[in-house]
Structure formats: structure tokens, C-alpha cells
Structure 1
Amino acid sequence: MGRTQRLRLQRAQKSAEDSSSLQNLYVHLHSLGWQNHTHLSAQNYAQTGRGLCSKQDTFYPEDELIRLPVDCLISIATLESDMEFKSLFNKDLFDKDARISFQALVACYLMYHKHLQDCSKSSGYAAYLDTLPRSYSAPYFCSIPELQCLPESLLERTVAQNRQIRGYYEIIKGLVSFLSCDCCGKSYGLEIWTLAEFKWAYFTVNTRSVHLSSRFLKKQSSHFQALISGDTNLALAPFLDLFNHSDSVQTTAEIHGQDYVLSLKSLPFSKTKIYDQLFISYGALPNFKLLTEYGFWLKENKHDYFDLSLLDIEHMVKHNKELSTQTYHRNIFKFIREHNLNDQMFVHIDDGCSHNLRVVLHLIFKQQAYFPNILNQIAFGDAEQFEDVQPELSYLVAYKIKEYQIFVGELDKLPKPSESGSVARSYLEECIRYLANFQITHPVE
């Protein structure tokens, strides 16, 4: 059998597995009261992979997309009502200085049921677990060589995610390390709930949860209250989580009686068509957020902008012959950091340069003063004085384009990219395109 035939066979087998898993999920959700009154069906699409369409209905703004009973959701009420899962967490071991997010706790719930499924095939969520992705494409899952080829902003975000995930995992491991599974005898902390499993479960919750205010749920006990930091306003929504995101639609989510109802608010056209993929909105999110949290980005994303840092400006100065010969007093950079002027520095294709970026460029390149009281008067004075930074802004954008081109080139030198590496590379190319268009839209006068 040739390579092409093998690939076709593998895709056919994967499609058959997905179809079987989704059919089992339909049966499970119907048993909990879901009616699928909008005739939703899962399909594979070239651009997004698996998504949802309707084989019978078209939709207009204000139409319901899906009405899912709250009992179908995996929420704080679900965890609090699962006595066997709760028994893994001894309240006497909770430490107010070592808490975890609710997201991390739901990740534990997924690992718990995944092990039940693997061990005894008795999990009530087996049908849902079978529909979940086996891997994710956020930069977090890039190989070490790939991470070394990414911009500092992506690397910093990935490091922060890793620190948080590992921190939660150590707390969880400490709580369950002495427990063993009644079914297989293996240790939860050492063999079952591994770090790799927790990473998968954490990103599953991260990418597939919906917002759900716990005040709409039935009154539940508070076994986990002392363990959780922050709110519990999220839930996993089986089947509903197959909707993909678009920047061109707006949706609303509300509790109507005992149902979680997702409705269209606006569309880029008058109505949808049958069999066309239906999209929802995860929020007005830029590509950086979509990439690092969900593992994808959108071409010409309406909500996109490009963030810049004070370090970007410092690096640009070093690489610019004209600017590198000038002297910049350290008090200026100190003042910028102390007053958080280096926050919210970005360029937007339509709106141009953010106010803070203009102020920072003006202070660094247009002012000779460096005493704090004078800098304060300048920075928080008349905004019109900051209009003279277009050349420096152009230098900065050109520097970032060249830097990202270098990152793309370094990624191309690696032998075999991972899925995460490929997605990150394409994101860098989109950033280059965005900045190049910004240069055209906002030329130096």
C-alpha cells in the first residue's frame, strides 16, 4: 500500500471514529433532555476542521442557535454533586495559601473521568471525552527549538502559562499523591494524573469552556470553596463547544429556565445557508489572544492590533544608525515605567498609533528634559504635541517587520515543524502582513 493510500485510509478511519463518537454524544445529550430543535450537525471544513452546521435550518439575527439543558453542562454543580470525585479531595488538606483556579479543578474532573473510561469504561462522560481533541496547537505546545525561534511576547506568555499550570499541578499532586485508584491500584499523584495529562486537560477547559454564572445553578454544597481561588463562572458545554469562532458574528448566551441558550445577535450577511458552517463569537479578541489561548488566528481579524513594548523601542534604537548615536537619559525610561505609560502601546490598522505609544515616543525622541516634574507636565499635557512622532513610529514598525521575518526564517531552518510550530509560523506571517499594511495606511508625511 502506498503512502497516499495509507493517508486516505487513516483519514477515513478517523472520520468514522469521529462520526461514531458524535453519534454516542447525541444519544447521551438526548437522554438529558436535549432536543436539537435547530437540527445541528458536525462537519469537517477545510479552514477550521470540525465545526457545526444545520442541515435543515437557516438563521437570521436574533435566532437561537442551540438550546442546551443546564444539566448537560459540566459546572461547579456537577463537581459538587459527584461524591466519588469529591472524596479525592480531603478538605483538611486545603491550604488558603495554595489554591487553584476553577479551570484547574475542572481539568482534574476531566482527568478523573478519562481514567475511569480507560480503566473500567464506566465514565458517564465517555461519549463527550471521545469527541475532545487529542492535542492542541497553542504555542505552549511548541518544541523547545521552536520556542527559541518565537518573539519575546509569545515566549513570555508561554512561560507565564507554564508557570501557572505547573504551580496548580504541584498543589493538586500534593492533595492526591497518597491516593490510589480502586480499579487499577495506581497512584493518582504519581501515575494517573501526570503533568502531561494535566496540560491536556487544562487546555481542554481553556479552549472549550463557556461563561456560566453559578447563580443560575441549583444550590450546591461548598466542598471546594476553600480550594478555589476566583469565581466558578465557567462550564464545559458538550457539543456546543464544536462551534468555531468568527470575528464577523456576534452571539449572546443566556439562561432561559433550565436551558443554556446561545443566539445570533448579528451576521455579516442577511441569513445563513443550510450546510454552511455556523460560527459564534468568543469575544472581541486579537490574534495574539486567539493564538496563545486557543491555538488559532484569523486572517484580517477585525479585532486585531499589534502590541509593542519598551524593549522593542530600545532594540529598534540599537539597530537604527540615526537613532543609536543619540543620548537617552535613564530618567525618561524610569518615568515611563513608573507611570505605566509602557502599557497599552500598540498600533491599529484603522486607528493608528495608541495614545500611550505616542507619548512614549515623544518623551524618548522629542524631549531633552529628564526631570520628573517636567516629564509629568509633558506626558499628561496637551495631546496635540504628540503628533510629531511619525518617523520614529515608522522606524519601529519597520524594525518589527524585519525582526518577525528573521523569526520566520529561523523556524524554516528546523527539520520538522510541530502543529503548534506551523500555526505559530503562520501567525508571524500574518503579523508581518498586518504591519506592512499599517505602513501603507499610515505613511510618513
Structure 2
Amino acid sequence: MGRTQRRRSHRNTKDSSSLHALYVDLHSRGWQNSTGLSACNFLQTGRGLCSKRATFAPEDELIRLPVECLLSIATLESDEAFKELFNKEFFDKDARISFQALIACYIMYQKHLQDCSNSSVYAAYLDTLPKSYSTPYFCSIPELQCLPEALLERTVAQNRQIKDYYGIIKSLVGSLSCQCCGQSYCLDIWTLADYRLAYFAVNTRSVYLSARFLKKQSSHFQGLLSGDTNLALAPFLDLFNHSDSVQTTAEIQSKDYVVTLKSLPLAETKPYEQLFISYGALPNFKLLTEYGFWLKGNLHDYFEFSLLDIEHMIKHRKELYSQIYHRNIFKFIREHNLSDQMFVHLGDGCSHNLRVVLHLIFKQQAYFPNILNQIAFGDAEQFEDVQPELAYLVRYKVQEYQIFMGELDKLPELTESGSTARSYLEECVRYLGDFEARHFPDFDQ
């Protein structure tokens, strides 16, 4: 799924040396680089990949990387020293972790091997991992206080999940000590701060890999893991940046992990042009919170609202605040999950659920559940009468985001995460402004 940072400064000599070491390491594992890929720095995205001699058209292979080069569940299951840290007798079915959480632990394990004994077989790859990430998760406290509730909720959820996983790992590994340095893994070596970085390394750089295509492995970690193990870290391949205007596929062919270009905005690329892959049809909110970047004019973008947004909008509109809204209506909306998938799309307009919710709140006097049920799941044409309220809601969010941007601008300095979040808010304001102009240009607010 790629890398996290879109506007990094040019890399230093040490970084170039690290990439050269990675080339050498991957070639020793069977990588031929048949498509002639090179890592370069690009103005808009920072580090990315291009080919200095080849052109690419749809159906061309972008990269063919031996499965042996990937860090997957097979990698962890074949590492006897790492498995010894996790006593299966202490696994608890009520305290399981995701495979992403476990492979993040493996990154920390390998980094410590590299630091204390230079014995990590993945040293070349570890040296190419970012030292920081630009997701809102890494915003400073003052910056977090200037972010919209949707971003805060996502950041809080991420933090809670990461701390829970770290706690489970700490309880399992306990006070076991490193045989190289004698220090305790969870008391001296693996800090929560280290784990956060490792977790986002996996979050931003992993690729989908169906474990059923891997050679049969032992199942030491089966009792610890929740969910599937269908991801892997892909050295060098993870330098591809994401574009919303290309489509790619990835699959295992024999002993190789192959990424194929399926569509391009132009007939073909040219040498030295940056090559992109697709992480999926992802909106900017997802790109920002998971990967730490956003795309201007993202083809897959939309803007989502919450029920709380509507409640706040009511309080800010005198003509709406003076009306009476029965609590049964809001209760009904929540109980039937109608507040999910409430969004506007620049081309498609207002989502069905958002229309239903606006209709129930502003156009209906009924508040008995049986009547609300008939209305909510009845004829869809009746929900076409909510343009004024939709316009109010969009305008409210524009003004709210402008306030958040103003509060960020008051801070003496922004971190990279804060600056990225601030530019995302500006893109949201632009997107909603374009939505207003297209869908209710003559509406007087």
C-alpha cells in the first residue's frame, strides 16, 4: 500500500547509500529489475520510482519481485529466534492482535538486531524506512486541538488500538532479555514511541498478499492473531507512490509478486516520468489518516458528514434552532444506522442516507418509530425536498473548516503532520465550495 510522505525534501547521501544497499540485497535474493526501475526524487511527491529507459503502457509489468524478498507471515514463522519470544502457552483468545501489529513488532526486533549486533538480514531495507510520518496521528497536542472532530476521532481510535496491541505484546514478551545486549525487550528496548513508528511503517507500506499462495508454514502465531495474514512488506516496491488516475493489479505468479499496469491517463509513460500504482479507490480522508497525504482533485473523493454535524448546524441557524426536534427521531436514526454513509459527492450529489436523515429531521412531524420506519424505508422520491437544509449543512462545514484553518495558522509553527492536515482542510473547503457551485449555485444562504 505504499509510502506515507508526499512532499519530502531531497534525500541526503546516506539515503542514496541505503537505496544502493537495498538494490544489492534484493539482487542477492533473485530480483532482476527487468523493468529497469530507479528511485528518484520528484517535486510533488518526494521519493518515487521511474524507469530511465523504458516506457509503460496498459498491461505492462511494473515490477516482478521474488516472494522471497517480502516480509510476510512465512518470514515470521521461519524465524525461530523471534518465535521463541512468544510462548504459545500464554496466548489468550481474548487478547489477540492483528498481523499488522505483529509484523510491526518484528520490525522493532530486526532494528534492534541491527543496532546491537549488525546481524539483521533486513538491515538494508530497515535503513530505507522513513524516520517520521505525516499522518494526523503524529500532530502535536496544540495541532490536534485545532482539528475537526472526524480527524480527532480517527486519531483517538488509532491511538487506542496501537496502545492495546503494544500492551498485549508487552504482557507476552514480559521481561525477556535480548541475548546480545542483556536488556529487557519491553522495559528497555521496545518503547511505545518505537512501536508507533513501526506500526505506521507497516500501515503505510504494506501490500496485499494472499497467504494461501505462500509455501506451507508452521502455525506458531495462529493462537495470537485475529483476522487474516494477507499483507506483507515489499522492499523497494513500496517506493511506488499512489495515483487516483491509474489502475494496477498485483498477484503471485510462480515465485514472484507481480504488479501490472492496467490503465493510464495517457497512452503510455515516458522514460524518467514517475510511475504510480493504485492503493485503491480511496477518498482523501482515508489517504490522510492512513498514509499521511491527500490528492488535489482526487477522483475518488467525497465529503462525509456526521449526525453531530447536523445538530451543530441546527444550533447555528436561527430559523432551524427555533424549531422543535423530537429526540425519538435522532434515536431512530442512530438505531437504524442511517447516519452511516452520509456524504456528498461532487458528481453524484447527496447520498441516499443523508437525504433520508435530513428529510426525517426537517420535513416530518411524526416521531413514532413505526411511522418513521415507513417513511425512512418508503418511496425514495419523497426525499428530494431537502435542498435548503443540505445547502445550510455544506455552508456550515465550510465555515467550520475555515475556523480550524485559522486556529492552526495562529500556532507559531506546524509539524509536518500539522502542515499536511492544514492543507487537507483547505482542500475540503475547495471541494465543498465546488459542490455548492455545482449543485445549488443560486441558493441564497
The alignment's TM-score, normalised by the length of structure 2, stands at: 0.97
| Corresponding residue pairs, total | 434
In structure 1, the partner of 2:150 is: 153
For structure 1, which runs of at least 5 residues remain unmatched after alignment? Answer: 1-10
Q: 1:45 and 2:42 equivalent?
A: yes
In structure 2, distance between residues paired with 1:381 and 1:95: 47
Q: 1:314 and 2:311 equivalent?
A: yes
In structure 2, the partner of 1:5 is: none
| Amino acid of the structure 1 residue aligned with 2:383 | F
Q: In structure 1, which of residues 130, 137, 140 is the aligned counterpart of residue 127 of structure 2?
A: 130
In structure 2, the partner of 1:438 is: 435
In structure 2, the partner of 1:85 is: 82
Q: In structure 2, which of residues 338, 342, 365 is the aligned counterpart of residue 368 of structure 1?
A: 365
1:321 Cα offset (Å):
1.1
In structure 2, distance between residues paired with 1:76 and 1:328: 53
Moved over 3 A (4+): none
1:370 Cα offset (Å):
1.0
1:18 Cα offset (Å):
1.4
| Amino acid of the structure 2 residue aligned with 1:124 | V
Q: In structure 2, which of residues 280, 294, 314 is the aligned counterpart of residue 283 of structure 1?
A: 280
For the residue of structure 2 that corresponds to 1:394, the secondary structure is helix
In structure 1, the partner of 2:238 is: 241
1:87 Cα offset (Å):
0.9
In structure 1, distance between residues paired with 2:124 and 2:370: 65
In structure 2, distance between residues paired with 1:321 and 1:286: 33
1:122 Cα offset (Å):
1.3
For the residue of structure 1 that corresponds to 2:12, the secondary structure is helix
Residue deviations 1:72-108 (CA, integer Å, cap 9, x gap): 0000000000111111111111111111100010001
In structure 2, the partner of 1:4 is: none
1:156 Cα offset (Å):
0.3
Q: In structure 2, which of residues 376, 379, 382 is the aligned counterpart of residue 382 of structure 1?
A: 379
In structure 2, the partner of 1:403 is: 400
1:215 Cα offset (Å):
0.5
1:383 Cα offset (Å):
0.7
| Amino acid of the structure 1 residue aligned with 2:436 | Q
In structure 2, distance between residues paired with 1:98 and 1:379: 40
In structure 2, distance between residues paired with 1:80 and 1:34: 23
Q: 1:31 and 2:7 equivalent?
A: no
For structure 2, which runs of at least 5 residues remain unmatched after alignment? Answer: 1-8
Residue deviations 1:402-433 (CA, integer Å, cap 9, x gap): 00000000011111111000000000000000
Q: In structure 1, which of residues 183, 188, 199 is the aligned counterpart of residue 185 of structure 2?
A: 188
In structure 2, the partner of 1:6 is: none
In structure 1, the partner of 2:5 is: none
In structure 2, the partner of 1:333 is: 330
In structure 1, the partner of 2:219 is: 222
In structure 1, distance between residues paired with 2:38 and 2:154: 35
In structure 2, distance between residues paired with 1:17 and 1:45: 18
1:177 Cα offset (Å):
2.0
Q: In structure 2, which of residues 300, 305, 330 is the aligned counterpart of residue 303 of structure 1?
A: 300
1:15 Cα offset (Å):
2.4
1:327 Cα offset (Å):
0.6
| Amino acid of the structure 2 residue aligned with 1:42 | A
| Amino acid of the structure 2 residue aligned with 1:304 | D
Q: 1:421 and 2:407 equivalent?
A: no
Residue deviations 1:289-341 (CA, integer Å, cap 9, x gap): 00000000000000000000110000000000111111111111111111111
Residue deviations 1:5-42 (CA, integer Å, cap 9, x gap): xxxxxx78x42111110110011000010000000000
In structure 1, distance between residues paired with 2:421 and 2:304: 16
The alignment's TM-score, normalised by the length of structure 1, stands at: 0.97
| Amino acid of the structure 2 residue aligned with 1:59 | F
Residue deviations 1:131-169 (CA, integer Å, cap 9, x gap): 110000000000111111000000000000000000000
CA RMSD of aligned residues (A): 0.9
Q: In structure 2, which of residues 338, 352, 355 is the aligned counterpart of residue 358 of structure 1?
A: 355
For the residue of structure 1 that corresponds to 2:49, the secondary structure is strand
